[in-house]
Chains A and B, each alone.
Chain A
Amino acid sequence: MTEKEYNQCVDLYADRLYRFIVKNLKHEENARDVVQNSFEILWKQHDELLFEKARFYLFTVGYRNMIDFLRKEKRISLMDEFNEDAKVNINEEQGLKSILQQALNRLNDIQKSLIMLKDYEGYSYEEISEITGLNASQVKVYLHRARLKLKSYLVKMENVI
């Protein structure tokens, strides 16, 4: 990857990586650090990397870095559970988008990441598996469970409203 292509990566992927990280970490400063670290590493490796692989590489590095942050905060949850205690605060004006966002926030960290990698970035189960280090079957199962939980929440909210 050339220097020009690296800078193209900044234009193309910095916003997307930031969205992915900040929505998971919910902490702008930390998200900024993760994005900067990821690009720092990309820059160091850019001679060896193909431009076509850059986004995948960035998300992989960014994801691992983000998980480190979460682990440090000891708030990562690998348990397959839905946070039923989270306060429900929905009013009629809220659209599907905000309801979905609330539902997303009730998923555990891994599930949330998987959903975002799938829906925002369009990665396949296989690719998500490589990014996260989970195996493809786990990715599929976690994603399906997450999707069903989001669906349940939507149904619940539909009934509330």
Chain B
Amino acid sequence: MNINLNNYEEYLLNYVDGELEAEDEKELLQFMGKYPELEKELQLLQATKLPDDKMVFPYKQQLYRSKTPGKKKVIVLNKIWLGAAVAASVALLIIAYFSINRSYKPSTEFVFNHKITKQGMDTFKISMPLPVQPTAPKEQKHLAITDHSGKKTEHKRAIPKKTEIKQQDTSTILYAQTNVERENNEKIIPIAPVRKLFKKDTITMLKEADLAKRAQHEVEKNVPVPVILKGSTKGNKKTRSQSSFSYTKEDIDSIITDKIVAFQHTVSHPLEALKGKKIKIGSFSFVFKK
């Protein structure tokens, strides 16, 4: 027996920390039996143990990762990214296209490719469904519009031959197109916050599963999670850069509510450089929120 009135405190502390060997613990309890006045001391020490205090990390969605092609990593809009993006985007405007139906089902991921001539946007080709507009603005005739009832072969034709879309991307496009849900002649409207276009641009929308996770998170935590699109661009050496941008669900809802008649929308953008800017492509124009 090594425990005595001179060293019992260390035993008590080890006991409270759960670090006593079984044998020592037995000895301590026997010792305590002889000196019941020490019970209060033990109780006080035990009271210093922190009770469980659950906290929630509110940005967990940004931590999930995936190596699976097509499941793109969600870009974290943190300070580092913003700084880099702002620096890289002095002359850069950003473009994204995604189609959406009125029930806001983020039903697909799609990757697409488009081309542009030196003269501007008039040979802009998109391998994704575009609205069938009876009174389509003049500029739209330049777009490679794929009818919503189109079959795969038609979609394939819509993909520029000389693009560098990988086979995997191409199939993704076809998958996306064949899974777009529509009712009657309901139009699907591309939304295009824009920058100057470059060849080989690639825009990726989050997959349905990821969007569903984010939506779930919104509901559970009551935290608005922006829908994030990732866009990567490959221009010439001088203009090559990568950036991303986001829409909130509210943005999308408001667009849906307005039925996109005027082709002018207000969207959020994290880049200070873009705030307040109005950008046009063809008949679509976008105003970034200040």
For B63, give its contact among A10, A97, A120 (CB under 8 Å).
A10
Docked pose: A103 CA to B68 CA in angstroms = 48
Chain B residue at smallest Cβ distance from A3 = B67
- Residues of A in contact (CB 8 Å), total 39
For A154, give its contact among B17, B47, B67 (CB under 8 Å).
B47
Contact B62 A36 (CB under 8 A): yes
B48 contacts across to A, CB distance below 8 A: 100, 103, 147, 150-151, 154
Shortest distance from the beta carbon of B113 to any chain A beta carbon, whole Å: 28
Contact A3 B44 (CB under 8 A): no
In the complex, whether A49 has a CB less than 8 A from a CB of chain B is no
Q: How many A-B residue pairs have CB under 8 A?
A: 85
A104 contacts across to B, CB distance below 8 A: 50
Chain B residue at smallest Cβ distance from A31 = B57
Contact B17 A143 (CB under 8 A): yes
Contact A118 B65 (CB under 8 A): no
Docked pose: A139 CA to B55 CA in angstroms = 26
Docked pose: A3 CA to B79 CA in angstroms = 26
Contact A36 B78 (CB under 8 A): yes
Docked pose: A39 CA to B67 CA in angstroms = 15
In the complex, whether B104 has a CB less than 8 A from a CB of chain A is no
Known contacts: A36-B59, A36-B76, A150-B48. The answer to whether A125 contacts B17 by CB under 8 A is: yes
Docked pose: A22 CA to B56 CA in angstroms = 11
Contact B63 A36 (CB under 8 A): yes
Contact B62 A119 (CB under 8 A): no
- Residues of B in contact (CB 8 Å), total 33
In the complex, whether A76 has a CB less than 8 A from a CB of chain B is no
Secondary structure type dominating chain A contacts: helix
Chain A residue at smallest Cβ distance from B19 = A125
Which A26-42 residues have C-beta < 8 A from chain B? Answer: 32-33, 35-36, 39
In the complex, whether B66 has a CB less than 8 A from a CB of chain A is yes
Known contacts: A15-B57, A18-B57. The answer to whether A154 contacts B44 by CB under 8 A is: yes
Contact A22 B50 (CB under 8 A): no
Shortest distance from the beta carbon of A102 to any chain B beta carbon, whole Å: 12
Known contacts: A120-B50, A151-B48, A155-B44. The answer to whether A14 contacts B57 by CB under 8 A is: yes
Shortest distance from the beta carbon of B64 to any chain A beta carbon, whole Å: 5
In the complex, whether B52 has a CB less than 8 A from a CB of chain A is yes
Contact A33 B60 (CB under 8 A): no
Known contacts: A120-B50, A154-B48. The answer to whether A18 contacts B19 by CB under 8 A is: no
A36 contacts across to B, CB distance below 8 A: 59, 62-63, 76, 78
In the complex, whether A124 has a CB less than 8 A from a CB of chain B is yes
In the complex, whether A59 has a CB less than 8 A from a CB of chain B is no
Contact B66 A19 (CB under 8 A): no
Known contacts: A3-B65, A36-B78. The answer to whether A119 contacts B50 by CB under 8 A is: yes
Chain B residue at smallest Cβ distance from A47 = B67
B51 contacts across to A, CB distance below 8 A: 97, 100
In the complex, whether B21 has a CB less than 8 A from a CB of chain A is no
Task: List residues of chain B with CB under 8 Å of any chain A CB.
Answer: 9-10, 13-14, 16-19, 44-45, 47-57, 59-60, 62-68, 76, 78-79
Nearest 3 CB-CB pairings of A with B: A18-B57, A150-B48, A119-B50
